[in-house]
Structure 1
Amino acid sequence: MPVALVTGASRGLGLALARALAIRSWTLILDARGAADLDRAARELRALGDADVIAVAGDVTDPAHRRELRDLIRESGRLDLLVNNASVLGPSPLPPLAAHPPADLVRVYEVNVFAPLALTRLALPFLLAGDRGAVVNISSDAAVNAYPGWGGYGSAKAALDHVGATLAAENPDLDVYAFDPGDMNTDLHRQAFPGEDVSDRPNPETVVPALLRLYDERPASGRYTVAEFAPAVIS
């Protein structure tokens, strides 16, 4: 069975994608910071079918945790898909970039840029050893559009986009995608708009078909939006 490593898989888009892959009987290696939420998600996924679900709580910025994930890949014998989904927004409410606390900005870059790159480097030999591995970095429209308050998160996602594009240029046998899922009804969006009702945003489950279609069709490495693969998702 194909193997996927999905970070930030205890809720939101990560969990929604893991559900879809479990239904496809993939072997799943899942990561999230919250042990209780991750354990609950793993139990749910195992009940969906015959998918092998390996869940390890930890912070992707922790080198020891990343090595643990690497060792689980090795034990699984292959890796077909790495989804760098774990992310942090930064302070809420979102501050102007000039007032962004430096320590928080460092944390945003550690989680959204440096950790995905470090994890991808550890996973790269396994991704290149198979038929054709793929890396999906979850991006944002804030990576390409300037919005007040989004300078920290948006610039980090822009950096992650460029990291992925460079990895693709350096590894022509690897598919590397930046995938922009658009606004979603998730905890991150509730943090971005504190006090506002974000329930009118699409649920993460509605975005997953576009992400699966991206993986199945395998266009050239690059940046893609949900609308390009599932226009009906956008109302």
Structure 2
Amino acid sequence: MGDNSTALITGASAGFGRALALALSAQGWRLIITARGAERLEAVRAATGAYAVVGDIADPTHRAQLVGAVEAAGRLDLVINNASALGPSPLPRLDRYPLDDLAAVYETNVIAPLAVLQATLPLLRSSEGIAVNISSDAAVGAYEGWGGYGSSKAALDQVTAVLAAENPELRIYSFDPGDMRTEMHQAAFPGEEISDRPEPETVVPTLLQLIGTRPDSGRYLASELAVRS
């Protein structure tokens, strides 16, 4: 990546997205960031010099504004679709999962990342860029209560794999960071202690390694990349 490399990060105001934004900024990347929380997104913008667009990635109007910002930048080397919706907390079993809530989870976790990539793939092609969709072990494991979120991430994995097959000139990855100490993970375990989970900052180097080495498109686990490094 060159000195003017530009990255778009969704869900950048907290957790893994915030940690990624800070790390890429420290490496000299230009950033376009988005999230729903205006105050926290502004804090990340102030720390990174990023161009920030506040809004919900599931909202088509917001996505249009975001794509406008990307096009105005004139270059795009990396898209990280990090924004995710957990769904109701406590996590409901599938046999009683509210279908409106399930549709909202899919809108954020599947439809929105695909919409972002549909709009940005032309710029990524111009730079031989990279797209990363943040996945989860719930996409491949059958965990009670995780049917809504997990199935949405499984669908995102399939979207990622097919996009990669259709765009062999690009690198398109599903990245499973593993359990992390984030607000969303805490919401999945209300009232439980999750301090044993690693901080998001500790996982960032494995994704930077993936971006830097550009292996074949596919699904990658942070834990496996950490072992190889």
TM-score, normalized by the shorter chain, greater than 0.5: yes
Superposition CA RMSD, Å:
1.1
Summarize the alignment of residues 142-221 of structure 1 with structure 2, pairs less than 5 Å apart. Answer: 142-221=138-217
Q: Which amino acid aligns with 1:226?
A: A
- Equivalent-residue separation in structure 1 for 2:110 and 2:68 (angstroms): 22
Q: Deviations over 1:57-102 (max 9, x none)?
A: 0011111111111111111111000000000100101010111101
TM-score of the pair, normalised by structure 2? 0.97
Q: Which amino acid aligns with 2:208?
A: L
Which residue of the partner structure matches residue 46 of structure 2?
43
Q: Report how far residue 232 of structure 1 moved.
A: 9.0
Which residue of the partner structure matches residue 82 of structure 2?
85
Summarize the alignment of residues 1-235 of structure 1 with structure 2, pairs less than 5 Å apart. Answer: 1-46=4-49, 53-130=50-127, 132-231=128-227
Cα pair 2:41 2:52 within 8 Å, conserved: yes
- Equivalent-residue separation in structure 1 for 2:211 and 2:193 (angstroms): 32
Cα pair 2:22 2:44 within 8 Å, conserved: no
5+ long unaligned stretches in structure 2: none
* Structure 1 runs (4+) greater than 3 angstroms displaced: none
SS at match of 1:230: helix
The share of aligned pairs that are identical, in percent, is 58
5+ long unaligned stretches in structure 1: 47-52
Alignment coverage as a number of residue pairs: 226
- Equivalent-residue separation in structure 1 for 2:170 and 2:224 (angstroms): 21
- Equivalent-residue separation in structure 1 for 2:134 and 2:227 (angstroms): 18
Which residue of the partner structure matches residue 50 of structure 1?
none
